[in-house]
């Protein structure tokens, strides 16, 4: 045991794990003696249907598997449920009152209650466990998480928040579960945006401005040249300097592409400029990452893979996968009459696809991962579909064992239901987005007189940025969501501010009572759960490991936010109804322990989402 009063204990697995194991045993036995003739291969899919009960009135866990199974074995769902419930009646830790025998509910649910003594023992163990009762995965994997990956040299904007925040949360959660996680920021540091700023540098740079603030000057050049090169009348009308430049350089679009091509071909001047610009581009995004508390193990951007691209194409050709098509080279994934997945353009340039193929090969050789997750906007769905299909045919050693997953997410929308833009129609810069969140948080917490100015600023930073992250993470990631500062900073409802406030409130009780939390843990009390509200809270706290397993299964952090919100609600219900500091023993100690554990669980849950907490707000 450590000074904190916690120890690394081997967790026996979550209740759901134990229950699923028992169901697997019952199914195997019922299959062996012919009562339910099922194939062994069906068992995992069936026991997956053992889940938290939708309505606590029917029990703590519930299995819906009898319905589907009944069809397969030609019996009534109810009879199948009875068959299983009877076999499960003596499962240690679970109540003998497995329904349905004699129950009034449902056509074929098997409903289960956790025994009170088993629940009290498990919560007492979680209380002194540094992992808060969360088991490690049985089979740890090596998982690459490719996330954030912005195109540098353009300002990061609101579109980058989702990949950054979701990817970071997934990386934290997978690591906490016991996987070996490798995070990689696959920067877009080689694209046409460099042609734009190189062209801009050559024709209209402001040396003084670059010396004073390189990033700002590069950003200005990027925006200016983009309008010049695109030469859309409406953009030029709104941007007089660009219009002026476009009039003087009618060929700007082509020249910009030439600058990019020269960079890629190794032109000394353009290479030198690229090398000069990169540090400024990186400093800019690193400042944002540090504010967001996001870090990466690797920053292997597109430029890193350039030396390998020619060989990748040659290898694909050698294997007869890629072939020529009107001067370009591609892989015909859907037959000869459908457009191929291009890996080399007619002018010899390589593409995004080529880099991604080289990246897969490099990752396989150097990291031997079991899984590679790409946390990228859903609009790149077709790219990843073609990339993965090409990879599957490529036949590289190890490719058959690796799961390639596009963890896609929807678009951030404004109030008007269109992609989130500033009033003037520009995409919203990430920096100003964070600033505004923090300013607004300041207004929300301003009411608290007790905080000194400096502390208020720090609290506002944690609350404002936490709000932005949480608002994103609590969405179903595949759908679009509407960005609203007002909603995300509400102190009620499923928001970061509410959760952070809940932590402060839980810990406030312990502070107020002058409780030595470490000493309380060292005393390893046997927690009693006499009141239904204590029981409900304990049961929810013990689901932490189950929830993280579900997050991993679908890469859905919103399952974690929903559960944290539920835990906070159950604690509130207890706090509002029952005395804690003024309770008699043994309830007092039990409730203090529950409060302590709730605080640690909420804090850890938020930490896994990359969200900080504060002592007071
Ligand atoms: N740079 C790309 C973009 O901003 C995202 C890269 C995602 N990762 C990858 N391996 N393709 O759209």
More confident residue, 346 or 100: 346
Q: If phi over 0 gives left and psi between -120 and 50 gives alpha, with beta otherwise, what is residue 342?
A: beta
Average pLDDT, stretch 37-43?
Answer: 90
Average pLDDT, stretch 227-256?
Answer: 93
Lowest mean pLDDT among 69-83, 510-524, 562-576: 69-83
Among 341, 380, 388, which residue has the most ligand 1 atoms within 8 Å of its CB, making it the best to mutate?
A: 380
pLDDT at 98: 61
Give Cα 598 to chain centroid, integer Å: 23
| Model confidence at 105: pLDDT above 70 | no
With cut-offs at 50, 70 and 90, classify the pLDDT of residue 101. Answer: low
CB 172 within 8 A of CB 209: no
Average pLDDT, stretch 488-506?
Answer: 91
Annotate 276-334 with three-state secondary structure: HHHHHHHHHHHHHHHHHCCCCCECCCHHHHHHHHHHHHHHHHHCCCEEEECCEEEECCC
| Model confidence at 295: pLDDT above 60 | yes
In this prediction, what percent of the chain has a pLDDT beyond 70?
96
CA of 150 to the centre of ligand 1 (A): 7
Residues near ligand 1 with C-beta < 6 Å?
Answer: 146, 149-151, 186, 188, 356, 359, 374, 376
CA distance linking residue 483 with residue 427, whole number of Å: 13
pLDDT at 4: 81
Atom of ligand 1 nearest to the CA of 377: 12
With cut-offs at 50, 70 and 90, classify the pLDDT of residue 455. Answer: confident
Atom of ligand 1 nearest to the CA of 384: 11
With cut-offs at 50, 70 and 90, classify the pLDDT of residue 155. Answer: confident
pLDDT at 10: 60
CA of 133 to the centre of ligand 1 (A): 37
Average pLDDT, stretch 563-588?
Answer: 97
Among 145, 149, 381, 388, which residue has the most ligand 1 atoms within 8 Å of its CB, making it the best to mutate?
A: 149
CA distance linking residue 295 with residue 286, whole number of Å: 9
pLDDT at 103: 60
What residues pair up with 342 in beta bridges, in sequence order?
A: 330
| Model confidence at 246: pLDDT above 70 | yes
| Model confidence at 1: pLDDT above 70 | no
Enter the pTM of the model.
0.94
Average pLDDT, stretch 103-112?
Answer: 73
Atom of ligand 1 nearest to the CA of 387: 11
With cut-offs at 50, 70 and 90, classify the pLDDT of residue 77. Answer: confident
b/e per residue 7-46 (b: at least 16 CB within 10 A): eeeebeebbbbbbbebbbebbeebbeeebbebeeeebeeb
| Model confidence at 578: pLDDT above 90 | yes
CA of 1 to the centre of ligand 1 (A): 45
pLDDT at 544: 98
| Model confidence at 446: pLDDT above 70 | no
More confident residue, 40 or 169: 169
> Which pair of structure tokens corresponds to residue 43?
């068992």
| Model confidence at 509: pLDDT above 80 | yes
Indicate the average pLDDT of the chain: 92
> Which pair of structure tokens corresponds to residue 340?
């191929």
Average pLDDT, stretch 321-349?
Answer: 93
Average pLDDT, stretch 486-496?
Answer: 90
In this prediction, what percent of the chain has a pLDDT beyond 90?
74
Average pLDDT, stretch 247-259?
Answer: 94
Average pLDDT, stretch 139-152?
Answer: 96
Identify the residue whose C-alpha is closest to ligand 1 atom 1.
188
CA of 376 to the centre of ligand 1 (A): 7
Average pLDDT, stretch 464-486?
Answer: 93
Express each pLDDT in 412-438 by its tens digit.
998 888 888 766 667 778 889 999 999
> Which pair of structure tokens corresponds to residue 544?
């932490």
pLDDT at 19: 94
With cut-offs at 50, 70 and 90, classify the pLDDT of residue 405. Answer: very high
CA distance linking residue 593 with residue 415, whole number of Å: 44
| Model confidence at 506: pLDDT above 60 | yes
With cut-offs at 50, 70 and 90, classify the pLDDT of residue 448. Answer: low
Atom of ligand 1 nearest to the CA of 150: 4
Lowest mean pLDDT among 291-300, 373-382, 492-501, 548-557: 492-501
């Amino acid at each position: 045991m450590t000074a904190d009063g916690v120890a690394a204990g081997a967790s026996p697995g979550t209740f759901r794990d134990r229950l699923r194991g028992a169901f697997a045993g019952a199914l195997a036995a019922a299959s062996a003696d012919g009562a339910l003739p099922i194939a062994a291969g069906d068992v995992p899919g069936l026991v997956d249907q053992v889940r938290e009960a939708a309505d606590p009135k029917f029990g703590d866990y519930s299995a819906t598997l009898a319905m589907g199974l009944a069809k397969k074995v030609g019996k009534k769902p109810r009879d199948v449920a009875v068959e299983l419930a009877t076999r499960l009646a003596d499962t240690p830790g679970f109540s003998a009152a497995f329904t349905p025998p004699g129950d009034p509910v449902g056509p074929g649910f098997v409903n289960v209650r956790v025994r009170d003594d088993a629940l009290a023992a498990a919560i007492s163990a979680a209380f002194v466990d540094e992992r808060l009762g969360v088991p490690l995965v049985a089979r740890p994997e090596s998982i690459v998480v490719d996330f954030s990956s912005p195109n540098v040299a353009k300002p990061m904007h609101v579109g980058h928040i989702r990949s950054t925040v979701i990817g970071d949360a997934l990386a934290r959660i997978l690591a906490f579960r016991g996987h070996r996680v490798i995070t990689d920021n696959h920067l877009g540091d080689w694209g046409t945006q460099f042609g734009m700023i190189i062209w801009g540098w050559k024709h209209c740079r402001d040396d003084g401005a670059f010396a004073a603030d390189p990033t700002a000057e590069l950003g200005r050049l990027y925006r200016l040249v983009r309008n010049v090169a695109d030469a859309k009348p409406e953009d030029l009308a709104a941007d007089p300097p660009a219009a002026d430049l476009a009039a003087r350089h009618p060929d700007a679009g082509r020249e910009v592409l030439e600058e990019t091509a020269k960079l890629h071909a190794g032109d000394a001047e353009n290479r030198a400029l690229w090398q000069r610009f990169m540090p400024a581009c990186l400093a800019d995004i690193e400042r944002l990452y540090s504010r967001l508390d996001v870090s990466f193990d690797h920053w292997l951007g597109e430029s890193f893979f350039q030396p390998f691209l020619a060989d990748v194409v040659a290898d694909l050709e050698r294997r007869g996968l890629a072939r020529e098509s009107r001067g370009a080279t591609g892989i015909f994934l859907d037959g000869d009459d459908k457009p191929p997945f291009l890996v080399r353009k007619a002018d010899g340039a390589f593409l995004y696809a080529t880099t991604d193929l080289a990246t897969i090969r490099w990752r396989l050789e150097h990291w031997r991962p079991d899984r590679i997750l790409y946390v990228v906007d859903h609009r790149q769905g077709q790219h990843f579909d073609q990339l993965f299909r090409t990879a599957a045919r490529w036949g590289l050693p190890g490719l058959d064992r690796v799961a390639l997953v596009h963890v896609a997410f929807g678009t951030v929308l404004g109030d008007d239901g269109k992609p989130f833009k500033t009033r003037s129609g520009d995409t919203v810069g990430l920096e100003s987005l964070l600033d505004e969140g923090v300013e607004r948080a300041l207004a929300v917490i301003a009411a608290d007189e007790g905080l000194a100015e400096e502390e208020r600023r720090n609290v506002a930073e944690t609350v404002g940025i936490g709000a932005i992250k949480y608002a994103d993470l609590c969405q179903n990631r595949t759908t679009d969501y509407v960005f609203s500062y007002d909603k995300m900073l509400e102190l009620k409802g499923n928001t970061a501010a509410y959760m952070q406030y809940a932590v402060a409130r839980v810990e406030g009780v312990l502070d107020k009572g002058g409780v030595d939390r470490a000493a309380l843990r060292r005393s390893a009390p046997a927690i009693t759960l006499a009141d239904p509200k204590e029981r409900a809270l304990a049961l929810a706290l013990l689901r932490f490991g189950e929830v993280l397993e579900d997050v991993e299964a679908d890469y859905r952090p919103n399952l974690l936010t929903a559960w944290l919100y539920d835990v906070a609600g159950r604690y509130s219900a207890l706090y509002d109804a029952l005395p804690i500091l003024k309770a008699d023993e043994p309830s007092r100690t039990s409730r203090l322990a529950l409060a302590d554990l709730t605080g640690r669980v909420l804090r850890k849950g938020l930490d896994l989402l990359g969200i900080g907490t504060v002592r007071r707000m």
